[in-house]
Structure 1
Amino acid sequence: MTTSARYGRDAAIEALLSAAARLRWAIGSARQLILALGEAAGADRLADQVDRLANRAQRWLVTEPPQPLREIGGLVGRVTRRGRRGPGLAADHAALVDLDLDGLDLARISLCGANLTEVTLRGADCSAADASSSRWLRCRLEHGSLRMAVLAGATLERCDLSRARLDGTSWHRAVLAGCTLHGATLTDARLDRAELTDCDLRGANLAIVRSPHVATLAGARFVRCDLRDTHWGGRELGGASFIDCKLFGARGAPALAGVSIERPDLSRLGDGSQIATQSDVIAAW
Structure 2
Amino acid sequence: MENFEHRLARIAATTEQALRDLLPPVAGNPIAAPMHHAALNGGKRLRAYLAIESAALFGLDAVNTAAAIEAMHAYSLVHDDLPCMDDDDLRRGKPTVHVKWDEATAVLAGDALQTLAFEILADPLTSANASVRIKLVADLARASGANGMVLGQVQDIAAETATTPFTLDQITELQANKTGALIEWSACSGATLAEEDAGPLATYSAALGRAFQIQDDVLDVVGDAELAGKRLQKDAEAGKATFVSILGLEAAQQQASSLIEQACDALSLYGSRADPLRQVAQFVINRNL
Q: TM-score, normalised by structure 2?
A: 0.26
- Structure number with the bigger relative contact order (C-alpha 8 A, sep ≥ 6) is 2
More strand, by proportion = 1
Q: TM-score, normalised by structure 1?
A: 0.26
- Bigger CA radius of gyration: 1
More helix, by proportion = 2
